[in-house]
Amino acid sequence: MLRRSLRLSLPVALATPLLLAGCFDEQRESTSSEAGERISVAMLQPPRSGLTPLSDDAFKLSRWSTAETLIRLDASSDPQPFLATEWEQLEANTWRFVIRDDVAFHDGTPLTASDVVNSLTAATQAAPKPRILDGVNMTIEADGDNAVIVRTEKADPLIPNRLSSPQLAILAASAYGEDGRVNPIEAGTGPFVLKEINGTTSARLDRFDGYWGEPAAVAGIDADYVPDGTARAASLRTGAADVVEAIPVSQVALLDPELVFEVPMPRTNTLYLNTESGPMSDPGLRAAAREAIDRPAIVNTVYEGRADIAEGLLGPALAWASDYRSPIEDRTAPTDPNGTEITLATFTDRAELPEVAVLLEQQLTQAGFSVNQEVREYAHIEADALAGEFDAFILSRATVLDSGDPVAYMFSDFACEGSFNIAQLCDPAVDEALAKAAVLPTGDERRQAIIAAEAAILRTDAAIPMLHERVIQGESARVTNAERDPRERMLITEKTSIDADSDS
């Protein structure tokens, strides 16, 4: 089967961590400078779109503290000042944001209201638009030199939250080409300036001495993309990397427990079922798949207990969700699959997902399905997944990644007009529930509406949540103040430092 072809032969598997360690060591030696220690980071995934902020690559720019937004969110997902120092809602669909003074871009130009207009307008005109703008028609204009007016077609209480999305980062005018491409090199405002992009291999950032805030404690960041989870873990074990993203649970036991940090996160491992075409367009077969899944077996076998069994799309990282949730009524009864053939797909970039696929194949086969698997790197499977080429797709999905509020994720993944609708779902009841939640102000009433929308989605069986993941991040003993961010927006900040005298 395909999953067997993905396994490395033993000599290669043993050699990969050694080669990686050599790469990190050479890079560390070649990039140390009189300006101070540099920090090396092993990243989970390579960029998909050349590090343009108008894609998911924006989260790398954010985690490296090179591109900044008007707003940032606190631990409770409430908006706080960043490049905007204050804001007010002038009317139901009109907001005014005051821009921070004395901010310089990495290319030396000053931040002005026109730069904010330029960046946000580019996002609204991108194709596809950043998912944070799904269902949002927004226009931006300057209000003098130090403020902007943001208008939306419909009243939107989440505009400040939306403007915290890394995909709406503010870059210098020099970043934007006439062809619509965005080049983030030397174009941000953060404490680190992006100096070099080496394709899907690595990136290099230096401390930006002209930063408007506290200067960075380290001289720079050397980021390597290491999709292989065993190799990432090995880079921490050998001391080749200082900070390591997304350590696979299978590798945790091989590491010093003092170097591993685990945080519940708003990320759900979900099985998306194709509601538009193929056998899973039958609600009874989707219900059969729902009943076939043994969540505890997946959590205990694949994640070794380092995950939380899903009761809904939203997990324990949103502590309020379980308080509002009640059993879903009027669910479709399962029908006998009777050998129905389906294609189950996922990707290799998150090491656990192919293992989840193996267990799901067994569970679905036991329920009466005939299962074929298709497993590729994410960059090579996303387009087919979004086009509805698979009957079932396993996805690890962040549920509040963009706005700190789950409505944007739900709209993107499950609304008729959603741009990330792998399930191809178009259900009037779901759209109505999402529309109701979207217009409510933050607070108790909005949270109740969100859980009602979750129930409407789950009632369709377009998505079957299996488990909620935890951040498992590695940090060498010489690192202090690396961020452990459940939303995966921050990693290395101006406060992150290195103890050069550490034995690690």
Structure-token pair, residue 189: 């405002």
> What's the CA gap between 214 and 219, in Å, rounded?
13
| pLDDT band (50, 70, 90) for residue 35 | low
Nearest-5° Cα angle at 86, 85 to 89: 155
Question: At CB < 8 A and 24+ separation, what contacts does 354-357 make?
Answer: 354/3, 354/6, 355/301, 355/302, 356/269, 356/298, 356/302, 356/394, 356/466, 357/3, 357/394
Q: Tell me the pLDDT tens digit for each residue of 111-165.
A: 999 999 999 999 999 988 888 888 789 999 999 999 999 999 988 888 999 999 9
Q: At what angle do helices 10-31 and 229-237 cross, to 10 degrees?
A: 50
Q: Residue 26's pLDDT is what? A: 53
Domains in the chain: boundaries: 7-63+190-242+476-498, 71-175, 264-469
Tell me the per-residue pLDDT of 396-446, one tens digit each, with 9 for 90 and over.
Answer: 998 986 778 899 899 999 999 998 999 999 999 999 999 999 888 877 899
Q: Are 357 and 3 in contact (CB under 8 A)?
A: yes
- Read off the pTM: 0.74
Tokens 């100096």 — which residue?
Answer: 195
CATH of 264-469, one of 3.10.105.10, 1.10.287.3510, 3.40.50.300, 3.40.50.720: 3.10.105.10
pLDDT for res 441: 81
Q: Assess whether the previous peptide bond of 79 is cis (omega < 30° from 0).
A: no
Determine what percent of the chain is predicted with pLDDT higher than 90.
76
User: What's the fold here for domain 7-63+190-242+476-498?
Assistant: D-Maltodextrin-Binding Protein; domain 2 (3.40.190)
Q: Is the pLDDT of residue 10 over 50?
A: no
CA gap 496, 437 in Å, rounded? 38
Q: What residues does 308 pair with on adjacent strands?
A: 468
Q: Which single residue is written with the structure tokens 């210098």?
A: 172
What is the model's pLDDT at position 502? 66
Q: What is the pLDDT of residue 277?
A: 97
Question: Is the sign of the CA dihedral 407, 395, 381, 350 positive or negative?
Answer: positive
- Strand, coil or helix: what is 197? strand
**Residue 13 confidence (pLDDT):** 38
Same fold, 7-63+190-242+476-498 and 71-175: no
Q: Please tell me the CATH code under which domain 71-175 is placed.
A: 3.90.76.10
More confident residue, 179 or 289: 289
The string of pLDDT tens digits covering residues 184-222 is 999 999 999 999 999 999 999 999 999 999 999 999 999
Q: Calculate the CA dihedral of residues 356, 359, 363, 365 and round it to 10 degrees.
A: 110
Cβ atoms of 172 and 116 within 8 Å: the answer is no
